Structure 1
Amino acid sequence: MKVLLFPALLTVAILTAPPKGTHWTGSATTGKQENKINFVVSADGKHLSDLTFDGFWNCSGQQEQRMVGPREIFEIHDGKVSGVVLDTPGGDALQFELRGDFTGKAVSKKPFRMNLSASPCETYSMQWMAAPTR
């Protein structure tokens, strides 16, 4: 009986699991360096999460490479994302500003900016583009 019950429960769990979002990857550039940007768009197309920026930002005139992203989720309305989220790891507020249009199969050049409020570190305004990974 237990042998038959497990496959049945597993099938039910798989069929009732919420649909997974789509992973997107792309680049963000200031014209000098190529930086990577990754995120997930929810299956219903209403949320952008797991954003990571892997690239260079300016800290007091020095270029530093860093991989970072907010824990907060960006809302997508009518196929567009436009917002600012604050993340406070260790008390310092990281600010992420993101704008994009998901009405096509890829996001073409749109603004991205990240800065650390308690220090002089920031990316300045970059242009980013991304497409879903397959």
Structure 2
Amino acid sequence: MKIVILLFQSLTLLACSGSDPIATPKEGNGNTAATMETPAGASSGPARGHYEGVFSNGMKETYLSFDVSKDGKEVRNLTFKGWWYCDRRLTQERGIGPKKGFAISANKVDGVVSEPENGGASAVRFELHGTFSGNKASGTFRMNINGLGCDTYVLNWTANRK
């Protein structure tokens, strides 16, 4: 108990003494320089650039890739490469994705893009959900064409910035 009290008193004296045990950067005029540090695990947004990822519950040799815009506010060039079911048959796509992008807000992407937009049952529907953390992202993806019976079903993905 005495050790705790002594430790508390020492910390109180140190805090009140005005002396900083950690060196604080100073400007040339003696004023304290403003420094900006990012706490561990904090992020100002998704890292801009190209991401490549895999699915944990999909077919082998099935991948996705995308780009995060320079301003960090949009996923662009989403591309699915691999296997999916179309009319109850396993079919390989060599690269398909929407022309439109998906908005990023608060380090998250949540959206659906159908192309053509008013294509009805023959439109390709892309659904993307995910969370960004620095140079990594993870979430779910689904692509389907209702009128043709084509569907990837919901796939779990993880991607890294390259």
Q: Give the match for residue 33 of structure 1.
A: 60
Do the aligned partners of residues 31 and 56 (structure 1) sit closer, same or farther apart at CA in structure 2, a change above 3 Å counting?
A: closer
Contact 2:79–2:97, Cα closer than 8 Å, also in 1: yes
Choose which of 105, 108, 112 in structure 2 pairs with 1:77. 105
Choose which of 84, 97, 100 in structure 1 pairs with 2:127. 97
5+ residue gaps, structure 2, are: 1-47
Contact 1:80–1:103, Cα closer than 8 Å, also in 2: no
1:51-130 mapped onto 2 (5 Å cutoff): 51-66=78-93, 67-88=95-116, 91=119, 92-108=122-138, 110-130=139-159
- Deviation of 1:86 (Å): 0.7
Q: How many residues align?
A: 111
Do the aligned partners of residues 131 and 71 (structure 1) sit closer, same or farther apart at CA in structure 2, a change above 3 Å counting?
A: same
How far, CA to CA, are the matches of 1:31 and 1:59 in structure 2?
15
Is 1:47 matched up with 2:82?
A: no
Contact 2:59–2:83, Cα closer than 8 Å, also in 1: no
CA RMSD of aligned residues (A): 1.7
25-34 vs 51-60, greater mean Cα deviation: 25-34
57-66 vs 68-77, greater mean Cα deviation: 57-66
TM-score with structure 1 setting the length = 0.76
5+ residue gaps, structure 1, are: 1-20
Aligned letter for 1:33? K
Do the aligned partners of residues 122 and 72 (structure 1) sit closer, same or farther apart at CA in structure 2, a change above 3 Å counting?
A: same
Larger strand proportion, structure 1 or 2?
A: 1
Q: Which runs of 4+ in 1 moved over 2 A?
A: 28-34
Question: Larger C-alpha radius of gyration, 1 or 2?
Answer: 2
How far, CA to CA, are the matches of 1:71 and 1:83 in structure 2?
14
How far, CA to CA, are the matches of 1:55 and 1:47 in structure 2?
24
